[in-house]
Chains A and B, each alone.
Chain A
Amino acid sequence: MRIRVKFAKYGALRFIGHLDVMRFFQKALRRAQIDVAYTGGFSPHQIMTFSAPLGLGMSSFGEYMDVEIHSHQGKEDFLNRLRAVCPEGIEILDAKALPAGTQNAMAGVAAASWEIGFSDPHKSFEKLKENLPGFLAQEEIFVTKEGKKGPRQVDIRPGIHECAIREGKLCILADAGSSGNIRPEEVTERFLSFCKEAMPDHPSAFTVLRRETWENAGTPEAPKFQPLDAMGEDF
């Protein structure tokens, strides 16, 4: 059976890259002595998939990992085992059993919600609030993306589903995953530019938190977003 594990990543572990997070979980599952399913061959590896990679330096409360297991002693036992082997900065939030036929954690990603703040405690998005309606009223918002054939202009406006300012932070719900990924810093940069504010030249000027990763239970035209583990069940 397939288990979808939801976890948070924060603190010092924001500086662990995506590949290292994968390597971390491969070892953690062994330490937790979870009955993971392996591929065959001379160097068997665990059958696991991760949702969208998180940029270095960002925190998240909405990371997902799918892992195929042979057996278990219930959800509580599973969570306890895994929590016991995780260090400060990786927190296991939940685990759900996936119904057969569910898309894997990578393929299922449709959107992500982000909270962007200034690292400098004296700065806030609050005073830029009045610009928000105008920003969102734009029919097109173009960003430059580096592609295989060189830079190209992409309209990200259709992919921005929500954009608000709450408690001084820019809160966005935007497309993520393989079908058009919108990076939080792209939206931030476009918004600041719209406000005629200077964009800080270093990513450490912002704190970026991924609040949740979403799948689309509706259609591309009429999306209905739900957390990536919404269709999972307790076990």
Chain B
Amino acid sequence: MRKLALNDEILLKIEKPARYIGGEVNSVMKDPKQVKVRFAMCFPDVYEIGMSHLGIQILYDLFNRYDDVWCERVYSPWVDLDGIMRKEKIPLFALESQDPVRDFDFLGITLQYEMCYTNILQVLDLSGIPLLAKDRTDREPIVIGGGPCTYNPEPIADFFDLFYIGEGETAYRQLMDVYLETKAAGEGREAFLLRAAREVPGIYVPSLYEVRYGEDGTIASFLPVKEGVPKTVRKEIVMDLDSVPYPQKPVVPYVKATQDRVVLEIQRGCIRGCRFCQAGQIYRPVREKGLETLKRYAVEMLKNTGYEEISLSSLSSSDYSHLEELVEFLMETCREQKVNISLPSLRIDAFSLDVMGKVQDVKKSSLTFAPEAGSQRLRNVINKGLTREDILHGAGLAFEGGWSRVKLYFMLGLPTETEEDIRGIAELSNDIAALYYETVPKEQRTGPVQIVSSTSFFIPKPFTPFQWAKMCTKEEFLEKAALTKRSIREQLNQKRIKYNWHEADVSVLEGVFARGDRRVAEVILKAYQKGCLYDAWGEYFKNDLWLETFEQCGVEIGFYTTRQRKEDEIFPWDFLDCGVNKSFLWREWERAQRGEVTPNCRAQCQGCGAARFKGGVCLEARKEHEE
């Protein structure tokens, strides 16, 4: 029988012990004596969140296909177990073998959002691994970071031995081989890191670069300190998504995970180019999976997991070329197998409403629009192609189809935003409510229309046209939220509109981490040592402690958030090459300020630079051009 790292007394004392016992359906067991590489793959948040993440399932499946590698999973212990592990000195363990992470060859940590940064330190700390990479010896695992936050890894660079930039399917095997070679040659950590940086594409070893700052606090130079280490690290990318493995037997948790369904990834990247969106830039160019591949995956995955729901995953499913055929196939298959279909990120039009009307209970479900800004002017600034007419037309169709609940998502604090734009949020919400009463005759109404408008605060992200932009202060954010609320209350249909907004403190901190440099690491380390953890969880976020720590470290928040950057500023992330040129982003930033819309990749190539990868939508466009 599998041994457990935690005894019965502890397991009966903590919340949801099933988070820590492993042994889930489709989890992979191997004989540790038969493998050469032990890889602990970590999502630094609680189990139910981490188990919902597709990226880890992809790499877990990929690594375990290698006979000489055993990849296991690790998640952040919840605060109750955290306390017990510290008190009783129980080292953090991987779920499958229940062995201490400290004894593994690699600890890979996926970085999906900035607010998990203190949880990284918790994982290292509980594992007994020195928090700073420079303090580690040959006895400890190599700590690797991956995922979207590595597109500015600098605020956490001190905690990692290396970062893998880009999609994981391409270079990990090479990285492991270099590791095995250096180990066989009796060489240590330093030798491995140097070889990895020199030989393996997509690898960034922070300790091999030196950053110098100018008098104004911005970066003066960012250069490798050893010969042969690349000045620029280019992201890794899979050009033919049908040729790489996809987890057809994903691990199925016992406890209900946030994402409790089969996830079918249909494409990577997005053609839209919304100027606030990082994913829309760093995953360029758009690459689709083949229709037949997806049909096969869907059938296999449903069979292997037993899930009662399947969901499509992509940044913008409506842009997938074979969406209609795929959805028709799924509806057929799912009807037979009594499986539900969930269709997120669909544009609301006649087709999607028809499909949704067939797969969900219209009366119970709501429609979602993400106009992101309240006025057409500001939507042009952010290059959100959605017009007022699109929204009202879609909502009108939906009301005719029987829906009466609409969710709207907006951002506050976007560049060039005025009070007029904010009032536009209230007016648009009101117009949609009014449209319901115009569209649906009284006798056909099932109940009052419900509009839920939510706003989040805009945070400029690296590798977007807004990376130069000034972010709002907390006070400005709160004023904007108050104005939104007031404006909604002034509307005729205000009783039908519910307004939600977020706390501003955490957005400010996220803004610092998003565009921070290496000097922010000290703040993260000290805040963690003072007790900051699970910052993404409102009830555990300790803003006062953070502010105090910034003060103590002499790190000024405004330098990272509210400062408008100049065109020629060297950003902390400029040494990375995500495929999109800085000159393109600057061009987009200028167009944004003029309120000029840029067509999407399929309509007209903008020469962003991603064509260098020679595939996806970039070739598609050219093919048509040649014809």
Contacts and interface: CB of A to CB of B under 8 A. Distances in A.
Interface of A: 11-13, 15-17, 20, 23-24, 26-31, 33, 38, 42-45, 56-57, 85, 87-89, 119, 202-204
Contacts of B17: 15, 56
B352 interface: no
Interface string B1-38: 11010011101110001100111110000000000000
A86 to B, nearest CB: 9
B273 to A, nearest CB: 37
Interface of B: 1-2, 4, 7-9, 11-13, 17-18, 21-25, 252, 254-256, 302-308, 337-338, 340, 360-361, 364
24 contacts: A11-B2, A12-B1, A12-B21, A12-B23, A13-B23, A13-B254, A15-B21, A16-B255, A17-B18, A17-B255, A20-B18, A20-B254, A20-B255, A23-B256, A26-B306, A27-B306, A27-B307, A29-B306, A31-B25, A31-B305, A42-B361, A88-B23, A202-B9, A203-B12
A23 B254 contact: yes
A20 to B, nearest CB: 5
Nearest to A32: B306
Given A12-B4, A15-B21, A24 B254 contact: yes
Contacts of B304: 31
Given A15-B11, A20-B18, A27-B252, A43 B2 contact: no
For the complex of A and B, the 6 pairs showing the least CB-CB separation, nearest first, are: A27-B306, A30-B306, A204-B9, A204-B8, A15-B17, A31-B306
A14 B244 CA distance: 38
A44 B360 CA distance: 11
Contacts of B23: 12-13, 87-89
Contacts of B21: 12-13, 15
A57 B306 contact: no
B338 A87 contact: no
Contacts of A33: 303
Contact of B12 (A23, A24, A56): A56
A88 B303 contact: no
Nearest to A57: B12
Nearest to B306: A27
A57 B10 CA distance: 11
Q: Which of A15, A27, A43, A204 has the most CB of B within 10 A?
A: A15
A31 B22 CA distance: 20
Contacts of B256: 20, 23
A65 to B, nearest CB: 15
Contact of A26 (B2, B12, B25, B308): B308
A87 B255 contact: no
A88 B2 contact: yes
Nearest to B365: A42
Nearest to A202: B9
Contacts of A202: 9, 12-13
Contacts of A204: 7-9, 11-12
B184 to A, nearest CB: 35
Contacts of B11: 15, 57, 204
Contacts of A85: 25, 306
A43 B255 CA distance: 20
A51 B91 CA distance: 38
Contact of A119 (B8, B24, B25): B8
A16 B252 CA distance: 13
B15 to A, nearest CB: 11
B9 A15 contact: no
A28 to B, nearest CB: 6
A85 B12 CA distance: 27
B4 to A, nearest CB: 6
A27 B25 CA distance: 10
Contact of B2 (A12, A29, A31, A38): A12
Nearest to A206: B8
B303 A12 contact: no
Nearest to A205: B9
A45 to B, nearest CB: 8
A119 to B, nearest CB: 7
B8 A57 contact: yes
Nearest to B4: A12
A202 B10 CA distance: 10
A23 B305 CA distance: 12
B306 A28 contact: yes
B303 A31 contact: yes
B305 A16 contact: no
A27 B9 CA distance: 30
A87 B304 CA distance: 13
A43 B12 CA distance: 34
A135 to B, nearest CB: 27
A42 B22 contact: no
Contacts of B22: 12
Contacts of B302: 30
A152 to B, nearest CB: 26
B595 to A, nearest CB: 44
A15 B307 contact: no
Given A20-B18, A28-B306, A204-B8, 16 more contacts: A11-B1, A13-B254, A15-B11, A15-B18, A16-B255, A23-B254, A23-B256, A27-B306, A31-B306, A43-B361, A56-B12, A57-B12, A87-B23, A88-B1, A88-B2, A204-B7
